[in-house]
Structure 1
Amino acid sequence: MRGAKLGWLLPLLMATPAAAKSIPDREAIARTAQKAMSATGARGLAIATIDRGKVVSVQAFGERNAKGDPLTPHTIMYGASLTKAVFAYSVLRLVDEGKVDLDKPIAGMLTKPLPDYGNLDAYGNWGDLAGDDRWRTITPRIVLNHSTGFANFHFLEPDEKLRIHFDPGSRYGYSGEGIMLLQFGIEKGLGLDAGKEIQRLVFDPLKMPNSSLVWRPDFAANLADGWEIDGKAVPHDERGRVRAAGSMDTTISDLANFAAALVSGQGLSKASRNELLRPGLAIRSRTQFPTLDGDAPAGEQPTGVASSVGLITFTGPQGAAFFRGGHNDSTGNTLVCLEKGQRCVLIMSNDVRAEAAFPMIVRDILGETGAPWRWIFGDMKFV
């Protein structure tokens, strides 16, 4: 009988999340950063840590430009697609205010059919969707869990025309164009200015004074340029248009405050906070990019990885967790958070070569999280 009882107990013990390791001190994190920069050749790297929903460490290392000016915690860096997480949070704030419904079609926000707006340089080529009424089914939730059926952007299509590749809501396919559709619905349909709403709902309450979705002249005094994969230095873009898919400039200090709010649920109702961690759509692709590759064979699909409202959720040895990244040719950013202990590592780099060290950095600080690095980065060789 005793053996039978142990037999029932063993699966429960095996399912219990691993004990969390202590967050390393600043000196240990600095050693990890230097190891990452030495291994990858990256010239600039910033790391913030969150524990129990509070920012406990923010540090920057290396250089912000080819002149050798130091990268600091207050240097303006490109947020890239971490902008999408900020936008998702702001949409959830609008849900709490009763202005947006995650599951009502965006078509209902608009005063005329989407294709009738034509092709708008500021948003998207909506006129290309004439003849395919599936756009009528796209909701804010479908946009935020990246299942619109759009390519990442219409200009990546061979003919540069926007089209729907699969039934909206049926599978994951990363799309910045989808994010722009929701921004369009909020601005043209609800009459709200997305940039001003994000300032009101995110940047002001979360104490992010050096964050903006458009270029500000005061950013120039302490600005990070970048380095591409071949080590070429490139200047920082001055983005003059609010694009919820990725126009944010920010600092590691500002964005650490946002990460702490995200993992703790600050500013959100309980229902909206739960949407962030609810695995809404199972991910079945082998890797995140290319975005339209379709389902991998069953044995090659990531296990327990799903898209939620603005995040990628997964379950690892320490339990429920989420991820959000940001990337361009000279930028590598990532945020990995554990629900247990409300712990996060936020990494920003103005040198895309640093991405090869991201798994090592996260592991050194949080322990093994089970983050789906191969799905995120494909065949990259990690250090």
Structure 2
Amino acid sequence: MFTAAIVVCAGCANRGSPAPRTTWVAQRAAALDAGVPAIIRSRRIAGAGVALIRDGRLAWTGYYGEQGPGVPASRTTMFNTASLAKSITAETAVRLASAGMLSLDEPIAAWYLEPDLADDPRYARLTPRIILSHRSGLLNWEYQYKNKKLAFVADPGTRFGYSGAAYDILAKFLEKKSGLGFDDLVSKTVFEPLGMTHTSMRRRASIDALVTTPMNADGVYEAPYTTTQRDWHHGSWSSASDLFVTLEDYSKFLIDVMNGHAVSIALARERFVVESSFAGAEEWACMAEAGLVCPNPYGFGLGWIVFDYGPHKLVWGGGNDSGENALVHFSPDKPGDAVVIFINGGNGVVASLDIAELIDRDQPLVSYLHQLVDRHRRQ
């Protein structure tokens, strides 16, 4: 364990892409170069990577602080983006459905039986769509149950309930359905077609030198995979909570999602339709107040959180664990523009919001997330 020795270039970033193409990008790049080093110091995070996608192209990337002790963050840094892994799993399922290799509404049980749930008749109701939109009726992870075994807390398909364990059930279904291991299936369906050569759904020895060393909330580096939670998936894939990826590789993926490539027009639209409303989910509630207009509806589509404001939508994806954070957002009504923020540090939630404000202080998503953070702190 050692204290962070932050390496920050004075007023500049380690550039990983060509010079900004537009005034909009140039202005935001200047604001980020001026502001992110101070955020790194004040929030006690190790480092950050930021991508600005404009008109369907990666317009600019900036890297700040450290990947690990004494190692500057750079374009080769593979950030652990935690639950952003779900966006890859969701896209794999959607692409396979679009290719006619599965239906999002077919029963999971026809191909895979989860041992903890096999004797419950409600398991027959689980479908890929229900899992992608977080209506499985399962808690997030096994450790939340007293006996550490999965069990339904609600009937599948009836209400929102965030679950990473359900995504792993979906991944095992995909394995059985395709005859391929999940790693190989994701690579053949998403990574290889997009040229994502610096991405992995599991921690491997071959990427150890590129992966961020997690920093805790006290600004102290931790040895990777030292806690019980992190040990779960060390060396094996997690469809829900492990995605090691460079900023540029994830930007390739996001651009492809926004463009609707390799997906039918119908499924491309369905991705961003609210199927699982946050209504009634207190921990996700939006409370209208000064400067914050709440969407209606808002909740999960097919793997993405969708804010529907009537004339336009905002799509959000993210991940957060004890030593890492990721925040991405874009609007399907204005395809081609997006923001990607990866953080190495236990205070990543607030740091990512600070950085998002440097890009667009009036972004409604930022105001909403600030409200959630403030509510959590008061509890």
Q: TM-score, normalised by structure 1?
A: 0.81
Whether the 8 Å contact between 2:216 and 2:345 is mirrored in structure 1 is yes
Tell me if structure 2 keeps the 8 A contact 1:345–1:366: no
Aligned to 2:369: 373
Q: Distance in 2 between matches of 1:81 and 1:198?
A: 16
Mapped to 2, the partners of 1:240 and 1:320 lie a distance apart of 38
1:267 aligns with 2:262: yes
Aligned partner of 1:173 in structure 2 is 161
Shift of 1:348: 0.7
C-alpha displacement of 1:25: 4.2
> 62, 67, 70: which one pairs with 1:68?
70
Q: After superposition, where does 1:81-120 map in structure 2 within 5 Å?
A: 81-110=83-112, 114=113
Asked whether the 8 Å contact 1:61–1:71 carries over to 2, the reply is yes
CA distance in 2 between counterparts of 1:167 and 1:373 reads 29
Q: Is the 8 A contact 2:329 2:338 kept in 1?
A: yes
DSSP 3-state at the match of 2:92: helix
Alignment partner, residue 30 of structure 2: 27
Alignment of 1:280-299 (within 5 A): 280-284=275-279, 285-288=281-284
Q: Which moved more, 1:314-323 or 1:166-175?
A: 314-323
When residues 224 and 179 of structure 1 are mapped into structure 2, their CA distance, relative to the original with a 3 A threshold, is same
Distance 1:335 1:100 in 2: 28
CA contact (8 A) 2:132 2:302 kept: yes
- State the Cα distance separating 1:171 from its structure 2 match: 1.3
Deviation larger for 146-155 or 22-31:
22-31
Q: Answer yes or no: is the 8 Å Cα contact 1:79–1:247 preserved in 2.
A: yes
How far does the alpha carbon of each residue in 1:139-187 deviate from its partner, in whole angstroms, 9 at most, with x for none?
A: 1011001110111011221221211011111111110110011111111
CA distance in 1, matches of 2:195, 2:313: 27
CA change 1:339–1:360 in 2 (3 A) is farther
How far apart are 1:318 and its partner, in Å?
8.4
What's the CA shift for 1:131?
Answer: 4.4
> 4+ residue runs of structure 1 moved beyond 6 angstroms?
296-302
Paired residue total: 340
Q: How does 1:220-231 map to 2 (within 5 A)?
A: 220-231=208-219
Kindly state the Cα deviation for residue 272 of structure 1 after the two structures are TM-superposed: 1.9
Structure 2 gap segments, 5+ residues each: 1-22, 226-232
Name 1:362's counterpart in structure 2. 356
Partner of 2:304: 311
Deviations 1:161-218 (Å, cap 9, x if unpaired)? 2110111111111101100111111113442221111111211122211111223333
Aligned counterpart in structure 2 of residue 160 of structure 1, from 148, 154, 157 = 148
1:49 aligns with 2:43: no
Distance 1:378 1:177 in 2: 28
Structure 2 distance, partners of 1:176, 1:375, is 24
The whole-number CA distance in structure 1 between the counterparts of 2:371 and 2:148 is 27
Distance 2:286 2:33 in 1: 41
Contact 2:271-2:301 at 8 Å conserved across structures: yes
1:320-373, Cα deviation, whole Å (9 max, x unpaired)? 111111111101111111224332111111102131132332233245332131
User: Residue 143 of structure 1 corresponds to which residue in structure 2?
Assistant: 131
CA distance in 1, matches of 2:42, 2:295: 28
Taking a change above 3 Å as real, the CA distance of residues 230 and 303 of structure 1, as seen in their structure-2 partners, is: farther
Please identify, of 246-255 and 351-360, the stretch whose mean Cα deviation from structure 2 is larger: 351-360
Q: Give, as a single letter, the amino acid of the residue that structure 2 aligns with 1:221.
A: A
Amino acid at match of 2:330: C
Q: Do residues 245 (structure 1) and 248 (structure 2) align? A: no
Q: Identity of counterpart residues, as a percentage?
A: 25
Between the aligned partners of 2:65 and 2:151, the Cα distance in structure 1 is 43
> Residue type of the partner of 2:325?
G
Paired residues of 1:149 and 1:168 also in contact (CA < 8 A): yes
One-letter identity of the residue aligned with 1:161:
K
Match of 1:244, SS state, is coil
AA aligned opposite 1:220: D
In structure 2, C-alpha distance between the alignment counterparts of 1:189 and 1:212, rounded to whole Å: 22
State the SS of the aligned residue for 2:347: helix
- How far apart, CA to CA, are the structure 1 residues paired with 2:249 and 2:35? 22
Q: 2:62 aligns with which of 59, 62, 83?
A: 59
- Bigger Rg, which one: 1
> What letter matches 1:280 in structure 2?
E
C-alpha separation in 2, matches of 1:106 and 1:367: 43
Hey, what's the Cα distance between the residues in 2 that align with 1:233 and 1:105? 44
Please name the residue that 2:206 is paired with.
218
**Residues 49 and 183 (structure 1), Cα distance of their counterparts in 2 relative to 1, 3 Å cut:** same
2:316 maps to what in 1? 323
2: CA distance between counterparts of 1:219 and 1:127?
33
Secondary structure of the 2:241 match is: coil
Q: How many angstroms apart in 2 are the aligned matches of 1:220 and 1:127?
A: 33
Q: Given the superposition, is the C-alpha separation of residues 192 and 354 from structure 1 closer, same or farther in structure 2, using an over 3 Å criterion?
A: same
**Separation of aligned partners in 1, 2:246 and 2:195:** 12
Find the aligned partners of 1:355 and 1:73 in 2 and give their Cα distance.
22
Do the aligned partners of 1:109 and 1:189 also contact (CA within 8 Å) in 2? yes
C-alpha distance in 2, partners of 1:224/1:62? 11
> Which residue number corresponds to residue 128 of structure 1?
116
Q: Name the CA distance, whole Å, in 2 between partners of 1:161 and 1:228.
A: 29
Q: Does 1:332 align with 2:325?
A: yes
Contact 2:211 2:244 in 1 (8 A): no
